[in-house]
Amino acid sequence: MANLLQIPSDDSVLLRVSHSNLKSFSADVRFSLQMTVESVKEKLWKKSGTSVDSMSLELFDDTGAKVSDLNDNSKPFGFYSPHDG
């Protein structure tokens, strides 16, 4: 019975998104870890106006150190192990 009352774990992350060419652009956006990198880019295209083909995504940790380049559009976003923040 206790298993039925537990809330399932969330498979999404809330990230602070910035844009290298738009200094005033900053947004907190929730992404599913199951989305492909290409789907993440499509979601960001709607927010930033930058086309998917022109995007180069980079993942940084909370100290500002670069963790990874998200250069394989077919991989799930969760492959890169993003965390909230």
80 vs 68: CA distance, rounded Å: 7
- What pLDDT band is residue 7 in, cutting at 50, 70 and 90? very low
Global pTM value: 0.81
d(CA 65, CA 14): 18
Structure token digits, residue 33: 């870890």
Mean pLDDT of 37-65: 93
Contact predicate 29/44, CB 8 Å: yes
- pLDDT greater than 60 at residue 44: yes
Q: Look at residue 8 and tell me whether its pLDDT is greater than 80.
A: no
pLDDT at 3: 53
